[in-house]
Chain A
Amino acid sequence: MKRVIPEANAKIAVAISRIVSQFVRRLGVGEGATLPGRILLRLYPQAMVELSRYLPVVLISGTNAKTTTTALAKEALSGSFEVVSNVTGANMEGGVAFALAEGGVRPDGRSLGIFEVDEAYLPIIGSQLETKVVALLNLSRDQLDRVSETRMTSGKWKAFLKEYPHVKVVANCDDPLIVFAAEGSASVLWVSAGLNFVLDARSCPVCGEEIEFATGQWRCSCGFKRPQADIEVNGKMIAIRDNKIEMELALPGRCNVANSAIVLGICDLLGVDLISAARRMSYVSEVAGRYRRVAVNGHQVRMLLSKNPAGWLEVFDMVGEDPSVVVAINAQVADGRDPSWLWDVPFELLRGKEVFASGERAYDLSVRLHYADIPHVVLKDSLDALRSCSNRDVSFVGNYTSFQELRKRLSGGGNPLINGIRKLGNRVLK
């Protein structure tokens, strides 16, 4: 694919992708980045390299919290840089290429790219861009029908970091699979960002023996052990070198404090003032429709997205006191076609709440809830389920496509003709 295309054609390729994006957004079938990105790369295969020339880039990857951490980073760093980002969550090659095309980068030293990157694509994307910093959040089971196994991903990251020794790394030292990958780099800032889903980290990525976990520590008999944290997270307090910063985030949950600690690590490496970065992050109140409360027929619905067992452990923390919970599970390509992972989620934690099972795979969820002893009602249509809640405060927890679907419907998609076109569009985009 080393075809060199003239500059005029490159401009045309960018223009076409933008038009397609507008069209996709008008139709409401997507965020308008994935398909145009694919078209852009087809017409202009070296778009990634060409469009990002002179643009220093921060890449954020991991199984969970990529989108949220990227949004926090964008906010934290936009006081110091003109930020180009893929905040819509289109995080494969096309999505990043299109974000670059949209961003209109100027080689003035003031611009910075901040991209969330799919785990499997980190080496491919990282090697094409002027990657300065890579932030590695966590690795756990997710979409096993598509993404390769976590150990394989960790090994590929490690090889990538070895090949690009100038890339600086901010990494979660509580996750052994992340440490295994990050140790490929000579320059790592370790953050104690936590690990609450231990099951995928039990056997050592170096030798296969069992890793012993104790509070704030882990080690294996082969010598592989948790590195000393450079940035410590303690409740709302983040300790970074001599600074102690209290995070007052608008976003709920302990995990978001940890995400903001990762961002402070990125800021530190880029020489950005940490206090003002922390202040900017506290303003973020929603991320691509997540976390915010929306009104639905008199209910106050907190919109949460969770797509795998590790993500669910964070969600139980955020559901908090809400007495009603609607869980919607789909199994489209973007969700992973196999919802077996529901059996790795401790749904027992929903005991005492009013629970609705929704989504295309509501029956899989219903069987799971039965075995967790959670009384529930099956209503495949999640909007119907929300309307049927008997309490005011409701948490909605969807996996990827069920979340997006509800979000679109709540944003005024009542027209059956438009909905039909959307469905058709979704099928084409799949």
Chain B
Amino acid sequence: MDLKELESLIRLFDSLSLSELALKQGDFELNLKKEKQRTQDLGMIPAMVRESTNNTAEPSTDDNQTSGHIVKAPMVGVFYEAPSPKSPPFIKIGDQIAKGQVLCIIEAMKMINEVVSPVSGVVKEIFIANGELVEYDTPLIEIEVTGV
């Protein structure tokens, strides 16, 4: 096995969810081991966004008592603002939205995930463009909360 093959093998091993790999080729022996799971398992949806119900608004100079709630990506995937390219977006800035309303879609591995609003309020900001890939916990949408 030459260096290039070895390098590509190690990279492959690293990308897989394997914890150990042993290889024997003639008198060549290789053992690869991975430290316990990476900090975040990409493959699971239910995220630890529990704290997101807390008020994440930055200390603002706003005088009014409304608070901004940041909806963060519950998983990695592609952000979609509408159910299909021909449909109008689920929400736009300034829209009044109700708790339980669909805000956007995140798609990964052809699983379409509707992100449902945890609060009622007004859409203040949409941080992501349609079709963009988002990482877990990326801020997606800010909602000025008027009710929970």
Query: Do A and B share a complex?
Result: no
